[in-house]
Amino acid sequence: MSQKGESTLDVAEQDLFDMLMSVMLFLNSNGIPLEHTKKCIMMKVNEAFARYPDLKENYDIDNKGKKWDWRDEK
């Protein structure tokens, strides 16, 4: 991975961490047990990975055109 790619990944990881901590703090402060919050987050992470291929294909078509092929970007 390039240095720019690593930097982008570092920023994305920190943003994800910050967002997760915000959700955890908000829910726990409003009476939701931390274990329930953990299960909810894990369920949504699994759902996101399951839905990703279809959403990615639609995103690519909508934003790059029907003839776009990831192999063309190498």
What is the amino acid identity at position 9? L
Q: Are 25 and 4 in contact (CB under 8 A)?
A: no
* Placement of tokens 């409003």 in the chain: 30
- The per-residue pLDDT for 59 is 85
pTM: 0.67
- For residue 43, what are the CA distances in angstroms to 10, 24, 33, 37, 47? 24, 14, 16, 10, 6
- The per-residue pLDDT for 57 is 85
Sequence-ordered alpha helix ranges (H) in 30-66:
34-64
- The per-residue pLDDT for 69 is 62
Summarised one tens digit per residue, pLDDT across range 5-43 is: 678 899 999 999 999 999 999 999 999 999 999 999 999
